[in-house]
Structure 1
Amino acid sequence: MLKTVLILLVVLSIALLLYLLYLSQKLLRQAQQQQARERRENPLSYRVHPKLAEELKKIEQLKQQRSGKNKPEADQ
């Protein structure tokens, strides 16, 4: 009798964990879709941290410098 109750308890707890996993994935998917929708509707509301913005500018400048250096070499 006790073994049956313990087995039933384990099965129910596994079922509960699976349900909670499903529910969390569903909520995460909804939040991601809402965030993507908000970004599409108002792209200016998305802000980048100032230090990250500086790094992105530096990367863009390096890319432009490299592409500028490569073009004259290709002409020769």
Structure 2
Amino acid sequence: MKKKIAAAAAVMGALASTIAFAQPASAGVDPRYYRESSWSTEGDCKISGHSGKQEGRWSDYFCSASTYSWDLYVKR
């Protein structure tokens, strides 16, 4: 039981740090990131962001649930 709680806490901590890190890039504050593209799509848009690797560079995807618009930021 303690291992499951510790694992859940680790996942929540990782998610919190990802979201906190992603906010400056979405606001255009972090100069290490540039906005590469934007698109709209219908579907489930309830997540606030997702980080992953694309072609060896860190990328952040942000979704606005009110407009179904997505922004892709890529690290320079």
TM-score, L = length of structure 1: 0.41
Q: Which structure is higher in helix share?
A: 1
Q: Which structure is higher in strand share?
A: 2
